[in-house]
Structure 1
């Protein structure tokens, strides 16, 4: 399937769980399309890129293994994603990968994510946290950065300052996640 054919298929996919699930199943059955999906996500000003991001999130939730061969491409696209509807699922994918990476039981995330990937995810998460983005992307970024602080010692002090600085102006959801992360950082 060409990129344009997949693009056309995404044009007819809406935000409903049913349609996202159907499209995710299609990608799961055709994992060679992951790179094509990433190419569509890179059309950062196109609303169809958001749909591609939603589908990638669904795919990664079901099978992270399919993304591992494309971690270089995925982490390189992080700073390029612009639309909030794309940033939220991309931030969630980062959170899922990092939660897996820091799991106590050995897993493939620990084998495939390298220092460069972790650094790119760190940079993107700080950008999403500092920038004017929706609370979901910021919440995912908080959790991701809290875990990455286990590898990069400088993250926790910076994250703590940032969360305390923005706490009073944050939404209820922002404050709830910030409290949870600050508590974990404090006990680290």
Structure 2
């Protein structure tokens, strides 16, 4: 199912070239740019190949790719997004929120409120089945599941680094080793 009838928050950046090395997202109508952190890259570089291997062509994993959400005030480019098998890009050449089976975000010291509060609400409202927050400062992953339309997840499981992370998707379960995730108390 593809749709382009909804205005996209990303339309505000049409023709812009954001600086390299920065993450760009749109929250509540504001364009936010933050530099990529070392911990974030280590998690992405550890998790992405694990996910890709286990998907084995049934879906795909993306990193820092613009996703169209059903609001012109929010435009997220998740650290990692698992796209459902058979999902197609819309007329803007982007995937949409309903194409995602899971989103993994790495919390940064400056974006902890965003990852733990606003994104939880947005992803739950959109019905994204799994939202995982990897928090290097706490050395823990929180797997949010069972999204509620009111903007919360009914279940949240905390998995300390060093333990396997189980991600139940529609027709399969991904298992990620968190041994390579960096604990960063600073």
TM-score normalised by L of structure 2: 0.31
More strand per residue: 1 or 2?
Answer: 2
Higher RCO, 1 vs 2 (CA within 8 Å, ≥6 residues apart): 2
More helix per residue: 1 or 2?
Answer: 1
